[in-house]
Amino acid sequence: MIDVSSLQFLLLILTGWLDRREREVLAHLMEENRLLRRQLGSRRLRLTDDDRRRLAARAHRLGRRALREVASIATRTRCFAGVGS
């Protein structure tokens, strides 16, 4: 029979590994966005209504505070602009 404290320890290790992995993936995507933005230069990114809807849905789930930390291409307000029009 598995001891409860051993199971809790195993879950703690697994949770820590998953959290670290998620942070590494997010850091990679943020750096990738910086590089793409630099290549884009001063040219404006053209978003379709579908693009805006998809970004708005993700932004809504993320929340304003977290979005300020990770948004690189469009802000939440900009994502919602034109949605439904």
Please list the pLDDT of the chain residue by residue as tens digits (85 residues): 778 899 999 999 999 989 999 989 888 988 888 888 888 888 888 889 998 898 888 888 878 887 777 776 665 455 555 444 4
* pLDDT recorded at residue 82: 46
* pLDDT recorded at residue 13: 93
* pLDDT recorded at residue 30: 84
* Residues whose CB is less than 8 angstroms from the CB of residue 77 and which lie 6 or more positions away in sequence, other chains included: none
Closest by Cα among 60, 49, 54, 44 to 85: 49
The residue written with tokens 């051993």 in the block is 6
pTM of the model: 0.56
Radius of gyration of the chain (CA): 19
